[in-house]
Amino acid sequence: MKDPFPIGPPAFLVEASKPLCDAVGLTALPLHIHEVIFAAGLYTVLQTVVSPALSKAICPGIYNKFDKRTVINWNVHVVSFFQSCIICGLALYALIADPEVQDWRRPESWEKRLWAYDGMIGFVQAMAYGYFIWDIYLCIRYIHIFGVGMLAHAMSAVSVFSFGFRPFVGYYAPVFLLYELSSPFLNIHWFCDKVGLTGTIYQAINGTLLAIVFFSCRLVWGVWNSYHVFYDVRTAQAAGYGEWGFAQTVAAKEAEMLKGQGFYEKYTGLRFTNIDIATGDVTGYMAPVKYAPLWLGGAYLAANMTLNVLNVYWFTKMIETIRSRFPPPFGTKGTGSKKNKQEFKARKGSVSMDEISKYMGEGEVPMDGKVNGEKIQASDVTKSVYADGSTSLEVGGKSLRSRRKA
C-alpha cells in the first residue's frame, strides 16, 4: 500500500537527510522524514496549545489550581492519550487493510516480515518515531520530573523503531505498537486521581478494562508475536543471512531474476523499488541486501525480551495500584496484604492513653491507663495492622484490638 500521507517528501528534505540516513543504514527514512517532523510538531502543539485550552475549558476549577509540575504531567498525559489512539488506529488499519502486509503474514513469508517495506508501514513507523523524538525532548527538558529511567526508555524506543527504516522487521512495527491499546485506559486512571474520582465506580470500570486490555495486548498478543519474531530471526540466521558475503550473493542473483519478471528493479539512490508497470504504483520493496547480522537481530530481540519482562512487572504493579484505590474485599485501601508491625517509641514509665488512642486511630482504649486491669509500664508498644483493616496494640504480651473502620 502506498503512503497515505497527503504530502510527498520534499526534495530538499530528502537530499538533506539522505547522507546521514545512508551512513547509518536507514535507507527508507528520507522518504518519511517530513512525516517524522510533522508528528513531532503535532504532539508539541497538543502539549503546549491544545491540552491547556481544552483543560481550562472542561475543568478550569481543577486545572488552574495545579502546580507547575502537575500541569506538565497533565499535558503529557493528554498527549499520550491522543497519541495512543492515533497510533493504534493506524497500526490496526495497516494490519487489516494493507494487502502487502496480508501477504507478509503467511507462514512462508518470513523474509518479507524481516526485510520488506511499503509506504503504509513507513508512515506508521514515522508517526511513532516522531512521538518518541518528542518524548526524548520532554524527558531531557524536564529530567527533574521524569528522571533518567524515562529518558533511557525513550532513547531505546527511538533506537528500536529505527530498525524498520533499514528496512528490518518492518512488519512487526504495527504489531508491537498495539501495546499502546492499554495506554488510553492508563491515562484515564491517572486523570481520575487528579479530578477527585479516586475510588469511584468510574475508576473501577476503567481499572477493570485497563487490566483486561493490558493483559490481552501486552502479555498475550505481545508474547505470542515475540515468539514469531524470534522464530523469523532464527530462521534467517540458520539460512545464512547473518553472513555478509552470502547475503550479497543472494541479492545479486535475485536482482537478475526479478529483471526478467516484468518489474523495473533498481537502487534509485533513494530506495530499492518495486514498480507495477501496469499502474505505475510503488507497492514496496525488499531490502537491497537481506542481511541480518548477529548484532542487529540480537539487539532487537534483547530489547523485545526486556520489554516483555517489564510488561509482567508493570502488570503486577498496576493491579496493586488499582486495588489500592478501593476498599476490601476487592481492594486493599486502608489495609495491608499481611500483618505489618511498626514500632512505637514512648517515654519511660506509664504509656499515655491519649498517645495509644491516637496511635490506634480510634477511641477503643480504656481510659484508666490499664490493659486487662494492669497498669501499663512499657518502653515500646507494637502496633499491628490486619488485612481486614483492624489494628491491635501489644504491650508486654497484652493486646488491645480496635474495630475495623467503616
In DSSP notation, 332-349 reads: -TT--SS-EEEEEE--SS
Separation between Cα atoms, residue 193 and residue 209, nearest integer Å: 16
Give me the mean pLDDT over the 247-276 stretch. Answer: 52
In this prediction, residue 116 carries a pLDDT of 86
Q: Mean of the pLDDT values across residues 28-40?
A: 94
Same domain, 167 and 202: yes
Whether residue 53 lies inside any domain: the answer is yes
Domain stops at, among 323, 355, 376:
323
Residues 97-138: pLDDT tens digits?
998 899 899 999 999 899 888 889 999 999 999 999 999 999
Which of the residue ranges 225-239, 250-264, 375-389 would you say has the lowest mean pLDDT? 375-389
In a domain, 185, yes or no: yes
- Can you tell me which residue has the cell 510538531? 41
For residue 384, the surrounding DSSP H or E stretch is strand 380-385
* CA–CA dist 378, 180 (Å, integer): 56
Is 2 inside a domain boundary?
no
Average pLDDT over residues 158-180: 92
**More confident site: 279 or 98:** 98
Percent of residues, the chain, with pLDDT higher than 70 = 73
Per-residue model confidence (pLDDT) at position 293: 85
pLDDT at 373 over 60: no
Residues 302 and 349 in one domain: no
Q: How far apart are CA 367 and CA 370, in angstroms?
A: 8
| Residues 174 and 93 occupy one common structural domain | yes
Instruction: Please write down the long-range contacts of 76-79, taking CB distance under 8 Å and 24 or more positions apart.
Output: 76/47, 76/138, 77/187, 77/190, 77/191, 78/46, 78/47, 78/50, 78/51, 78/54, 78/187, 79/43, 79/46, 79/47, 79/51, 79/134
Pair (344, 318) in one structural domain:
no
Specify if 3 maps to a domain: no
**Would you give the distance in Å from CA 329 to the centre of its chain?**
30
Query: Are 262 and 344 members of one domain?
Result: no
Q: Considering the domain boundaries, does residue 273 fall inside one?
A: yes
For residues 274 and 389, membership in a common domain is answered with: no
Question: ∠ CA 232-251-159 to the nearest 5 degrees?
Answer: 50
pLDDT tens-digit map of 225-252: 999 999 999 999 998 988 877 777 776 7
Q: Is pLDDT above 60 for 260?
A: no
What total of structural domains would you count in the chain? Answer: 2
**Residue 246 maps to a domain:** yes
Of the residues 323, 356, 389, the one at which a domain ends: 323
| pLDDT band with cut points at 50, 70 and 90 for residue 392 | low
Q: Same domain for 180 and 266?
A: yes
Q: Mapping DSSP to helix (H, G, I), strand (E, B) and coil, where does residue 9 land?
A: coil
Give domain status of residue 328, yes or no. no
Q: Are residues 367 and 240 in the same domain?
A: no
What's the rounded mean pLDDT across residues 83-87?
A: 97
Instruction: Judge whether residue 361 has pLDDT over 50.
Output: no
Is the Cα dihedral 50, 54, 57, 63 positive or negative?
A: negative
Query: DSSP secondary structure string, 85-118?
Result: HHHHHHHHHHHHH-HHHHHHTSTT-HHHHHHEE-
Indicate whether 395 and 247 sit together in one domain.
no
Indicate the range of 39-48, 146-155, 230-239 predicted with least confidence: 146-155
Residues 379 and 259 in one domain: no
Q: How confident is the model at residue 284 (pLDDT cuts 50, 70, 90)?
A: low
Which residues are paired to 401 by β-bridges? 392
- What is the domain range of residue 384? 340-401
Residue 262 domain-assigned?
A: yes
Amino acid at 211: A
Using DSSP, state whether 1 is helix, strand or coil.
coil
Q: 290, 323, 356 — which closes off a domain?
A: 323
360 and 226, same structural domain? no
Is 383 or 310 the better-scoring residue by pLDDT?
A: 310
pLDDT for the residue numbered 326? 82
392, 243: one domain: no
pLDDT for 301-338, tens place per residue?
A: 888 888 888 889 989 988 988 888 887 877 777 665 44
pTM beyond cutoff 0.85: no
pLDDT exceeds cutoff 80 at 37: yes
Evaluate if residue 257 carries a pLDDT over 70: no
Q: Is 208 or 406 the better-scoring residue by pLDDT?
A: 208
Percent of the chain whose pLDDT exceeds 90: 44
Amino acid 175: pLDDT? 96
Task: Tell me what the pLDDT averaged over the chain comes to.
Answer: 79
For residues 55, 50, 42 and 311, what is the CA-based torsion angle, rounded to 10 degrees? 0
